[in-house]
């Protein structure tokens, strides 16, 4: 019983500390085949080292076959970046100063901003009015939506 209470207390401390920082995960979906039509078999956070087996070869460079530990599948090529000689799931950074909106559109209230060249946690993206794509972002303790074209994967091998 004391071990269980000790583990619960340790978890509470770790989770409590997480409330003060925004963990940057900007995940990438790993799929069983080279297109969004294939099922998601894993999700890898930014910074995960991957081995690229192949890009293209009939997939038009849009998809790369990767291995990350026991995970083997396909990711959109635009999520891959480099750090030194390593290929990894690239973190997301801002191109300019970016507004954070409460919802996916300019008709929603601005709840914060992100300075240029800042790393953000990016979640899923949705289509908005006028063909604009909005992505869920977390920065500085605020979660909302920013325009996708203002976000990019850092040191990306292939543009998003």
Considering the segment(s) 92-153 as one domain, its CATH architecture is Roll (2.30)
pLDDT per residue over 35-87, tens digit each?
889 999 999 999 999 999 988 765 556 889 999 999 999 999 889 988 888 89
Identical fold between 28-89 and 92-153? yes
pLDDT per residue over 88-110, tens digit each?
899 999 999 999 999 999 999 99
Of residues 9, 10, 13, 22, the one with CA closest to residue 92: 22
Please tell me the distance from the alpha carbon of residue 4 to that of residue 83, in angstroms, as a whole number.
40
| pLDDT bracket for residue 1 (50, 70, 90) | very low
Please name the fold of domain 28-89.
SH3 type barrels. (2.30.30)
| pLDDT bracket for residue 13 (50, 70, 90) | very low
Where are the chain's structural domains? 28-89, 92-153
């Amino acid at each position: 019983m004391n071990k269980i209470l000790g583990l619960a207390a340790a978890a509470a401390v770790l989770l409590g500390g997480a409330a003060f920082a925004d963990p940057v995960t900007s995940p990438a979906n790993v799929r069983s085949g080279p297109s969004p039509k294939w099922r998601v078999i894993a999700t890898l956070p930014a910074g995960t080292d991957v081995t690229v087996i192949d890009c293209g070869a009939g997939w038009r460079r849009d998809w790369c076959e990767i291995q990350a530990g026991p995970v083997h599948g396909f990711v959109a090529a635009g999520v891959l970046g480099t750090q030194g000689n390593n290929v990894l799931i690239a973190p997301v950074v801002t191109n300019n100063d970016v507004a954070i909106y409460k919802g996916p559109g300019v008709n929603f209230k601005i709840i914060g901003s992100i300075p240029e060249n800042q790393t953000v946690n990016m979640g899923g993206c949705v289509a908005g009015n006028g063909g604009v794509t909005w992505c869920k972002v977390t920065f500085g303790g605020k979660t909302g939506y920013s325009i996708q074209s203002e976000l990019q994967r850092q040191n990306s091998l292939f543009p998003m």
